[in-house]
Amino acid sequence: MSSLLVLPQAQFFPVSCNLDRRLLSTKSSDIFRYGHFSKSLRHDDQLVHPEFTPKHVAIIMDGNRRWAKARGLPVQEGHKFLTPNLKNICNVSTKLGIQVITAFAFSTENWNRSKEEVDFLMKLFEQFFEEFMRFGGVRVSVIGGRSKLPIKLQKGIELTEEATKGNEGLHLTMALNYGGKYDMLQATKSIASKVKDGLINLEDINNKLFEQELATKCAKPPDLVIRTGGEQRLSNFLLWELAYSELYFTKTLFPDFGEEALKEAILSFQQRHRRFGGHTY
């Protein structure tokens, strides 16, 4: 793949359109003479500019079933990529300076799948937490309704969270039996109950208070959300938290989603200008 030059997000040239055309038509080696870039961002390990790397990346891991079916395999074979792929993503993310990964592993709607597939996934999650309990300094936590999960899986989650809570590396959050609508609904009910009981006043309700009632209250909102598999929707994932996140959709199925695909997503993020409702022009 040819080299790709990325303009860091914080660098803009409002002087005139002529300057932009000059930059776009100039060789990357010449651009350094203008003093706008500190390093070349190529499609290799120097590609990602640390200053402009998203600190929190959310991933909708989609395409496992289609990957398996396209190869005439049982759908379970596609799901088996969960642990190795997330290990690889964690390793690459640490190298790139990403601090938090939130992975959508099982939604509240996924219970509608066949019992055979759901049972397989529950066993797969048990193995996942057993392996991540001792994986590379990663801190692991889980959001979503745990009470509906098998008891053995619940215990595995608790043990992994306890064993990794002191790790200072990347923070991996797994969304299991999670739904954004349900999370917002339970947050609303909790706040309403506190108002009814006189613990807070109606005037106290604001964004910060609401966010403290969400399952994700310990983490900052994602800077970037990646969905693999080609679909272009959020599927009830982090509906409140993704209000200003950058969206990246790739046709790459999750079993094929590796280091190069992740870097492509980071490249796309670095070329965007995040205004959060404001403007700089």
228-256 burial by CB neighbour count: b if 16+ within 10 A, else e?
bbeeeebebbbebbbeebbbbbbebbbbe
Cα maximum dimension of the chain = 66
From the list 237, 199, 235, 193, the residue with the least C-alpha distance to 215 is 237
Angle at 216 between CA 213 and CA 222, to 5 degrees: 135
Based on the residue annotation, tell me whether 119 is a catalytic residue of this protein.
no
Tell me which DSSP letter residue 111 carries.
G
Q: Are 183 and 214 in contact (CB under 8 A)?
A: yes
CB neighbours (10 Å) of residue 111?
A: 11
Helix axes 115-132, 82-96, angle to 10 degrees: 40
Residue linked to tokens 């500190």: 38
Tell me which DSSP letter residue 112 carries.
G
Q: Are 209 and 191 in contact (CB under 8 A)?
A: yes
d(CA 217, CA 56): 14
Of the candidates 20, 62, 183, 197, the residue annotated as catalytic is 62
3-class DSSP assignment, residue 278: coil
| Residues marked as catalytic | 62
